[in-house]
């Protein structure tokens, strides 16, 4: 199995208690970052999200993809 797949599996296990559709507050908790940073990542599209009126919803897989992408950038 590739390193990226192993990372994704590990992150899924770490975040299994979170729902599939996350609020920005839950993303904040998962990543251990502040509110301003969270909304910045959502506004810029660095973390995929869906906007419903004023509300953001984030697929859990989008957070895992973001973490895997950042981990790969650190290793290059």
pLDDT tens for 37-57 read 999 999 999 999 999 999 999
CATH of 3-75 given 1.10.10, 3.30.530, 1.10.3470, 3.40.50: 1.10.10
Which residues, at least 6 apart from 34, have a Cβ–Cβ distance to it below 8 Å?
A: 28
pTM of the model: 0.84
Domain layout of the chain by residue ranges = 3-75
pLDDT for residue 67 is more than 60: yes
pLDDT tens for 2-24 read 887 888 888 888 999 999 999 99
pLDDT value at residue 66? 95
């Amino acid at each position: 199995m590739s390193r990226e797949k192993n990372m994704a599996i590990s992150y899924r296990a770490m975040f299994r208690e979170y729902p599939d559709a996350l609020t920005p507050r839950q993303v904040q908790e998962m990543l251990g970052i502040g509110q301003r940073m969270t909304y910045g990542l959502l506004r810029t599209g660095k973390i995929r999200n869906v906007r419903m009126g004023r509300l953001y919803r984030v697929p859990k897989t989008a957070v895992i993809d973001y973490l895997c992408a950042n981990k790969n950038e650190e290793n290059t």
